[in-house]
Structure 1
Amino acid sequence: MTTAIPLLQVTDLSIRVRGTSAPLVDNVSFTLNAGETLCIVGESGCGKSLTALALMGLLEGTPLQVEKGSALFQGVDLLSAKPETLRGLRGDRVAMIFQEPMTSLNPALRIGEQIAEAIREHRDMPRDQVRARALEMLKRVRIPAADKRLDEYPHQLSGGMRQRVMIAMALANDPALLIADEPTTALDVTIQAQILELMRSLGAETGAAQIMITHDLGVVAEMADKVAVMYAGRIVEAGTTAQIFDDPQHPYTLGLMSSMPSLAGDQERLVTIPGTVPSPANMPDGCRFAARCPFATGRCKETPLLQDQGAGHRVACWHAPVENFAANSRDEVPA
């Protein structure tokens, strides 16, 4: 029996600020198969967006650099590919929806022209066919009166419509991989639900794999096939959505789950995670979550590696499975 080759295989991706020693993203690895949705979840500043920008080849010209790692996509290493190779892939086989559509769209260009630009970059088509494709994409993302919106400017559209335009631009060339960075940020809950439903249905329709970056566990539960939980630049837990939600094993994941409000039964005060994420300039040795962790012991001064707990559920914690550690915690030596 042959094993399918992953659409994207990221191995040991590390990113740092030039001239510094502490990596902002540290040895991140994951795989994504065609048609799957991976949600990368964590607090602001944990390295989620940096990971996406590195995969898109958008760190050039910034103080950041990829220190090491590989990201194999359809035979191409996205982290070491030549600029002209990346230009050929971006917007075609790999596309990205950025976090804030008002700043991502060009305020001086009409909506139709912006979608057309993405098409012309990768397709040799007559002008009327390009415009017809742009109109088709606006209809595909369910923008009402699409023929009218085609000639409007971004400021004439609502936030939800602008986000739909971003999705239309990203999907215009039928990419195999779609990366979405906080695609529902700053949208009200009704529009958020519509955007998520749109992305889910378009993903099923096109077969595109998706990487969705979010801090919202509700979005994760709604969209993900697989989940990677990041903390301070490292993946601390990874598995299927069911594994992460039904059997969280890393203390950070447990804290995130406990901080979610519930509509079921009487609600007591939400659990909070004490302390703050360590500064990139002052990353601790060993487990980066140890200072905030209720289960920390002396062993946490060593760096834990992602270990398989079974069925591909990986956890970077010396004390996993945590239920066994909690039951035997009196035998542990305090930190």
Structure 2
Amino acid sequence: MPTEAPVLEVQDLSLRFKGAPANIVDGLSFAVRPGETLCIVGESGCGKSVTALSLMGLLPRGVARVMSGTATFAGQDLLALPERALADLRGDRISMIFQEPMTSLNPSYRIGDQISEIVLRHRPVNRVQARARALEMLERVKIPAASSRLDDYPHELSGGMRQRVMIAMALANDPVLLIADEPTTALDVTIQAQIIDLIEDLQKESGTALIMITHDLGVVAEIADRVCVMYAGRAVEEGPVAAIFDDPQHPYTIGLMSSVPSVGPRSGRLATIGGMVPAIDNMPSGCRFTPRCPFAGTGCETTPALVELGPSHRAACHYAPLERAFAEAAG
């Protein structure tokens, strides 16, 4: 486990959309260190992608407002930087792999030119050198016959190849922080596994810190060092991946784990979490998971704090640790 100072440290981040009655992200804190993989997990609508876009400065400033918090990267608060300074960081020291490459790649430009553009923007090179770097990156992400693909347009590539191009673009300038937002959602299962393996291999080669946003607990189990479980804009549990999988302590985390299909024999139906993530204009007071929680009771109308349950393992539940609460109830 990495022990160096964090590459990125987010403290008490709260975001609100214009006209919304509640924060879409509320009091979120996490850190990621060199070479570490932090997976941010949760259902759609929990605020994962909004968090990533805010760190990259890609939310429209007239629509999304930072209510509180800091995001410290290399001694600078990303949330307070002017647009020009953020543009200098994006694609250079911080990069992002987006969910759908067909909408992220420009359909009017050849892929070699799109990778070259990023290199030219941030490195003192000429066009010949930038094109050579683009070819090198296509080879690193294992695109077959890379030299003949440089002049292809995005529509001439398969979904898996387009995602490899997105990875090549993200890593072209050797970033120290890589954010991957559901990078395999639009791909079939076989290609998903290849892309995850590729990201993991390239991260190990470079020592890049990785924030992986996903709802796929299989991916989390394979690549995560640490896990942050989000629900309705808040972190409800966080800790080392082994602690989260072996001893989940928030009812939402338990529900996510129980709803994952297993390869072995199973009796009965898969568990489900009733209801859905609340809309921004209908956020419950106190614990936001209360309407869906099977353990909800007295006290849940107040917001629970993240409490330490073990080494670097915290959960935001009034009844945590759950074993103690169940024992007391039984007694």
TM-score range, shorter chain: over 0.9
Of the structure 1 ranges 259-268 and 81-90, higher mean CA displacement relative to structure 2 is found in: 259-268
Deviation at 1:268, TM superposition (A): 2.6
How far did 1:330 drift? 5.0
Deviation, 1:67, is 1.3
Aligned equivalent of 1:158 = 158
Partner of 2:173: 173
Aligned residue for 2:269?
A: 269
1:200 match: 200
Question: 1:62 Cα shift?
Answer: 5.2
Aligned to 1:40: 40
SS in 1 for 2:310: coil
Question: Which residue matches 2:137?
Answer: 137
**Deviation at 1:20?**
2.9
Matches within 5 A, 1:82-93: 82-93=82-93
Corresponding position: 1:236 with 2:202 = no
Question: How far 1:146 sits from its partner (Å)?
Answer: 0.3
Do structure 1's residue 64 and structure 2's residue 64 form an aligned pair?
yes
Q: CA deviation at 1:325?
A: 1.4
Measure the CA separation in 1 of the matches of 2:299 and 2:306.
15
Normalised by the length of structure 1, the TM-score is 0.96
Deviating more after overlay: 94-103 vs 275-284: 275-284
In structure 1, C-alpha distance between the alignment counterparts of 2:147 and 2:203, rounded to whole Å: 24
Quote the offset at 1:217 in angstroms: 0.5
- The equivalent residue for 1:182 is 182
Cross-structure match for 1:303: 303
Q: 2 CA distance for matches of 1:240 and 1:100?
A: 29
Alignment partner, residue 78 of structure 2: 78
Match of 2:225 in 1: 225
How far the C-alpha of 1:96 sits from its partner, in A, is 0.3
- 1:266–1:60 Cα change, 3 Å: closer
State the Cα distance separating 1:61 from its structure 2 match: 4.4
Gap regions ≥5 residues in structure 2: none
Q: Match for residue 52 of structure 1?
A: 52
Classify 1:272/1:121 alpha carbon distance in 2 versus 1 (closer, same or farther; 3 Å): same
CA distance in 2, matches of 1:13, 1:266: 41
Q: Which amino acid aligns with 1:5?
A: A
* Residues 1:47 and 1:112: Cα distance change in structure 2 (over 3 Å): same
What SS class does the counterpart of residue 204 from structure 1 fall into?
A: helix
Letter of the 1:296 partner, please give it. A
Aligned to 2:246: 246
Partner-residue secondary structure (3-state), 2:229? strand
Question: Alignment RMSD, CA only?
Answer: 1.1
- Establish whether residue 107 from structure 1 lines up as the match of residue 107 from structure 2: yes
**1:328, distance to aligned residue in structure 2 (A):** 2.5
Contact 2:21 2:280 in 1 (8 A): no
CA distance in 2 between counterparts of 1:165 and 1:277 reads 33
